[in-house]
Structure 1
Amino acid sequence: MVTTASDVLVDTLIDWGVNTIFGIPGDGINGVMEALRQRQDKIRFIQVRHEEAAAFMACAYSKYTGKLGVCLATSGPGGLHLINGLYDAKMDGQSVLAITGQHFHDLIDTHSQQDVDLDKVFMDVAVYNTRVMGPDHIETVANLACRAAISYRSVAHITFPIDFQTEKVTKKHSMHNVLHHTSDVRAHSAQLPSENDLLRAVEVLNAGKKIVILAGRGALRATTELEQLAQKLGAPIVKAMLGKAAVPDFSPYTTGGIGLTGTKPSQEAMEDCDTLLMVGTSFPYMEFLPKPGQARGVQIDIDPMRIGLRYPVEVGLVGDSRRTLQAILSLVEPKEDKSFLEKAQSGMKDWWKLMEERGTRQDKPMKPQVVAWELGKRLSDTAIVAADSGTNTTWWARQIPAKQGQMHSVSGTLASMACGLPYAIAAQIAYPERQCVAFVGDGGFSMLMAEFLTCVKYQLPVKIVIIKNNTLGQIKWEQMVFLGNPEYACELQPMDYAAFARACGATGFTIDDPATCGDILDQALATPGPVIVEAIVDPHEPPLPPKITLNQAAKFAESLIRGEPNREKIIFTAVSDKVRELI
């Protein structure tokens, strides 16, 4: 049998441990598709309905498994559609390989159909980015692309001219001629920071009296070490959004999230601390961190470029979070005074009472917090939860507690809408026996809602809970609170998402009454196959920050004065939520 360049490409991916590729066929990748067809027993091709979803799925696959995610798209518009999901992977530090088709090599840059120089388009998003220059070129570049994506925890891209894909390889090298390692070997094997740097960091931590630990995505595999260090230092653990599952939300050592979607105890801990230890995060919102000069700082990160980005730390420790924390634990002195942690723990008791109060309200229209609260109580201990970007992110962050053994994620740094459903699909493909749930808004879901058909096609039992408020809620509140403007162009044309589910050949439920919310969620979670639950909620419920600033209150009031069309309803909701200071 003739060995083609496409055969070599796919065999190389298999050698790197890749067993799943997300994408859509197209004439620009026909050669690659044939190689995949011949190797169906070794590598799955998951056909999606939009290439953007394929890139999101590859990103999520990497997030949830720690392995290389791969997406495939045809030339021109197919490759261009990948961009958003690839930036999601780049900005959240995930290993993704994108493979795109390209025109016949002798027609490139001749104004031919779909003649887009995708290697130029991908210059910013990819750490390794190349165009295949001939059939004998593919093996080396494929190995380098896989190695780069995994080693740098980022995006690699290969664009492959269509005529080269089916050409015979004349000089196939041995796989051992190119240095590589298996796809699950990541930066977790990185060397520890130097002994001198560790001792300097320990000196800062030993001197602190009010220490806060800020944990992010780099700390997801360091749960035990985080809790042991929190106990030893008397330090509350605050979690960046991508670090939601780093420590269970009901752990006595955590105050939950930070930022606009965070908790009041987290914010107060940041405002009062004298020492900040950042672990596996470069949390982007500096306004929620201690003021410069207020606290001494230590930061652990595998990427030296991220150290000191948000807060002026004294000691930067370049290394794997888990191993570095283990080294610190053996050196740091235990604190006798645990009053700072105890204050945070007391604050969290009050915070959870508030969350339960908001999550059990019986108002109509139904509050979105009720849906999140009821769902959170019903998720299995090994559930994988994908959120989307919007007001739903706040309810996910606060009302759906992360349990030990669960995984939670979202488009963190890019904060892209439409990620929730593709994320959940990738999770279900990676873990067919686990409960996988997408918690999304109607705005984000409708952007890539055709991917629900992917669930039906592959009989993936993904459960999608849609917070339906018929508005781009987050954008609406940003217009009002950030600029003092009345909402504009945020209303969405309503549709029946439960009926859409049934039209796709699956199951749909509708919830509009808080009294029946729990029972309907029980039915939905117990229903075999893919399910959509549309939860019709109050569109005027604001995703309030944990502490409202005077400027936010002033802008909010200004937006009402300047002609906010739903002024009376918003005022009623705000008053009923005991946030009279806003109005």
Structure 2
Amino acid sequence: MGAIAAEVLVSRLADWGVRTVFGLPGDGINGIMEGLRRNADRIRFVLVHHEEAAAFMATAHAKATGEIGVCLATSGPGGIHLANGLYDAKMDHQPVLAITGMQETSVLGTGYQQEVQLDRFFADVAVYNEMIVNPAQLPSLVDIAIRTAYGRRGVAHLTVPNDIQVAEAGQQPYELVAPANPPVTAPIYLAPAVRPREAELRAAARLLNEGQKVGILVGIGARGAGRLVEQLADTLDAPVIKTLSGKMVLADDSPYTTGGIGLLGTKPSEELIEEIDTLVMLGTNFPYTKHLPTPGKVKTVQVEIEPTRAGVRMPTDVPLIGDVAATLEALLPMLRRRPERRLLPSYQAKMAGWRTNMAALESADRDPIAPQYLAALIDDLATDDAVLTCDSGTVATWAARHWTIRGDREFYLSGNLATMAPALPYAIAIQHAYPDRQVIAYPGDGAFAMLMAEFHTACRYRLPIKVVINNNSSLGQILWEQMVLGYPEYGVRFEGSKPDYAGWARGCGGFGAYVDRPGNLRGTLREALAYDGPALVDVVVDANEPPMPGKIKYEQAKHFAEAFLRGQPHRASIATTLFKDKIQQLRER
């Protein structure tokens, strides 16, 4: 049997060090599936239940390993299903390659069954986007796609018509000669350590040395530079705020950090933003500008690897184009250490108070179960090198405030896209990449239901992920957002019959447990974490626990009250929960 073009495509992926492809077969990629079969000793195909999950898995693989993630989908609807996960990769700047099928070249343009021009469909999401129309284009276009995905930190897409997939490898139906393709030895792509120019470094140093009250905002772009960030904070007497995506840049018990920012952040962080006269932004493109200083109020230095993102969120006095670690190594010797300790001690005291308030909400005595207690138990029982994933929604608030980064812990979620449903596929992909680490997914019930079939994927591959569902039988974040707008909630609670998620887990061949009493929770979580295989715990939590902002503003409180007056249907239960929260915080003082 002669080599086919799809075999060359897959072999070239393996040359680049790709070891896993996440996907779902279809008649539009049968040739590529044959290429994978012939290279099964070099690349493992992970069969999923939904293409969206495959794209999330490829994104999670890139986030957790730094290597390109690869997903595969058939033509038409299969490729369309990839879009949400690929936008997650795009907006969080992760290198991902999507490979899709396409109808035979002879019928393109005729309105053939499932004919969707996926190269056009992916025009917005992809930094590199091509259709293979000649077998001789392989493997050159694979090389270019992967280099572009790495170099531009984004999504590359190749779509391959059916007839091209199964054509003879290297077939050249045209007169042009294909370029030479030398062997590739992985790893082939090494990101350069980019350092700003000397003049810009000195300008930044002057500005920072003149600042009286300096604050630091770090994002995921500062990952791996935590020690240098703490040196900067110590030199400038500058507290460090962390974006949610950047939560693992510094340990949460670091004396330099005030925790998160924004609606999911802390009160000390909000107060710091209001007090500072100088801001240092390190590896972040934090989008919620209303939580940043008022433009013109502060001087700003921004360290950003991508020049087009510098100054997008804040007027930037000195943009430093470079990666965070190389930039700080060059900048720190130019800064004067402040002998007086004023801002840091002040915010260390504020953070101590904030942590006391958060701990008060983690009560084991509350019934229904307080979601803060559930999050705190996960934090307490997880290993110090656990990989934690969570979904968008109220779970992100509880994770932000009640999970602590310590040791070698890592934390992943959909950052800028903030889509529902990635927690479970993220966990599967990360467990696949790191089989010896504890991986815990923390979805809400709404998000879990979207891609719950993928728990079966974990069971089929015996991936020992642990899934803890924060089940409030509602789309909790939307519920509170409606109220903050001043409207009573509408269409956000799943009333009536309740899905048996624990039964589903057992039916898949994993561990499944249901908990609706706080006294049973710790023991059940321990049992699930100790289980030698995939495990799921469905935890019923208080649906009326609001994810309150760190610092409540007048307009928020006003609109919240208006929702009550306009007929909020669960106002009595919500008021009772808020009263209990306040009583517990007062008890801790």
Query: AA paired with 1:437?
Result: I
Question: Which deviates further from its counterpart, 282-291 or 69-78?
Answer: 282-291
Query: AA paired with 2:124?
Result: D
1:388-431 deviation digits (Å, cap 9, x = unpaired): 00101100111011113111011010000001001111110010
1:132-168 deviation digits (Å, cap 9, x = unpaired): 1111112121111101111101000001001000111
Matched residues in 2 for 1:116 and 1:194: separation? 47
Query: AA paired with 1:441?
Result: G
Partner of 1:176: 182
Q: State the identity %.
A: 48
Partner of 2:151: 151
Matches within 5 A, 1:156-305: 156-168=156-168, 169-170=170-171, 174-176=180-182, 182=186, 185-187=189-191, 189-305=192-308
Matched residues in 1 for 2:87 and 2:171: separation? 36
1:343-397 deviation digits (Å, cap 9, x = unpaired): 1111111111111111124111110000000110111111111110010110011
Partner of 2:444: 441
Partner of 1:77: 77
Partner of 2:460: 457
Matches within 5 A, 1:320-359: 320-359=323-362
Matched residues in 2 for 1:220 and 1:140: separation? 32
User: Deviation at 1:2?
Assistant: 2.1
User: Deviation at 1:191?
Assistant: 2.5
Matched residues in 1 for 2:342 and 2:188: separation? 41
Matched residues in 1 for 2:352 and 2:364: separation? 19
* Partners of 1:64 and 1:427 within 8 A in 2: yes
1:249-281 deviation digits (Å, cap 9, x = unpaired): 111111111111111111111111111000000
Partner of 1:96: 96
1:29-72 deviation digits (Å, cap 9, x = unpaired): 11111111111111111000000000000011000001100000
Query: AA paired with 1:558?
Result: E
Partner of 2:586: none
Matched residues in 2 for 1:257 and 1:450: separation? 33
Matched residues in 1 for 2:190 and 2:346: separation? 38
1:483-504 deviation digits (Å, cap 9, x = unpaired): 2111111012522211111111
User: Deviation at 1:310?
Assistant: 1.0
Matched residues in 2 for 1:377 and 1:351: separation? 18
1:274-303 deviation digits (Å, cap 9, x = unpaired): 110000001001111111122110000111
Query: AA paired with 2:351?
Result: M
* Partners of 2:17 and 2:186 within 8 A in 1: yes
Matched residues in 2 for 1:413 and 1:376: separation? 24
> Which of 470, 475, 480 is matched with 2:478 structurally?
475
Question: Which deviates further from its counterpart, 334-343 or 60-69?
Answer: 334-343
Which 4+ residue blocks in structure 1 deviate beyond 3 angstroms? 170-174, 180-187
* Partners of 1:139 and 1:173 within 8 A in 2: no
Question: Which deviates further from its counterpart, 350-359 or 59-68?
Answer: 350-359
Matched residues in 2 for 1:60 and 1:16: separation? 18
Query: AA paired with 1:63?
Result: K
Matches within 5 A, 1:558-577: 558-577=562-581
Task: Determine whether 1:488 maps to 2:494.
Answer: no
Partner of 1:420: 423
User: Deviation at 1:173?
Assistant: 5.4
* Partners of 1:151 and 1:186 within 8 A in 2: no
Matched residues in 2 for 1:186 and 1:209: separation? 39
SS of structure 1 residue aligned to 2:311: coil
Query: AA paired with 1:486?
Result: P
User: Deviation at 1:557?
Assistant: 0.9
User: Deviation at 1:510?
Assistant: 2.1
Partner of 1:133: 133
Aligned length: 576
Matched residues in 1 for 2:216 and 2:185: separation? 33
Partner of 2:116: 116
Matched residues in 2 for 1:543 and 1:183: separation? 44
Matched residues in 1 for 2:358 and 2:513: separation? 25
> Which of 515, 521, 527 is matched with 1:517 structurally?
521
Task: Determine whether 1:527 maps to 2:531.
Answer: yes
Matched residues in 1 for 2:86 and 2:571: separation? 40
* Partners of 1:67 and 1:183 within 8 A in 2: no
Matched residues in 1 for 2:416 and 2:82: separation? 17
User: Deviation at 1:175?
Assistant: 2.8
Partner of 2:7: 7
* Partners of 2:471 and 2:538 within 8 A in 1: yes
SS of structure 1 residue aligned to 2:582: coil
CA RMSD of aligned residues (A): 1.5
Query: AA paired with 1:489?
Result: G
Query: AA paired with 1:467?
Result: N
* Partners of 1:18 and 1:183 within 8 A in 2: no
Partner of 1:507: 511
Matched residues in 2 for 1:206 and 1:433: separation? 46
* Partners of 2:104 and 2:161 within 8 A in 1: yes
1:525-570 deviation digits (Å, cap 9, x = unpaired): 1111000011110000000000111111111111111111111111
* Partners of 1:200 and 1:315 within 8 A in 2: yes
Task: Determine whether 1:548 maps to 2:552.
Answer: yes
Segments of 5+ residues of structure 2 without an aligned counterpart are 173-177, 584-589
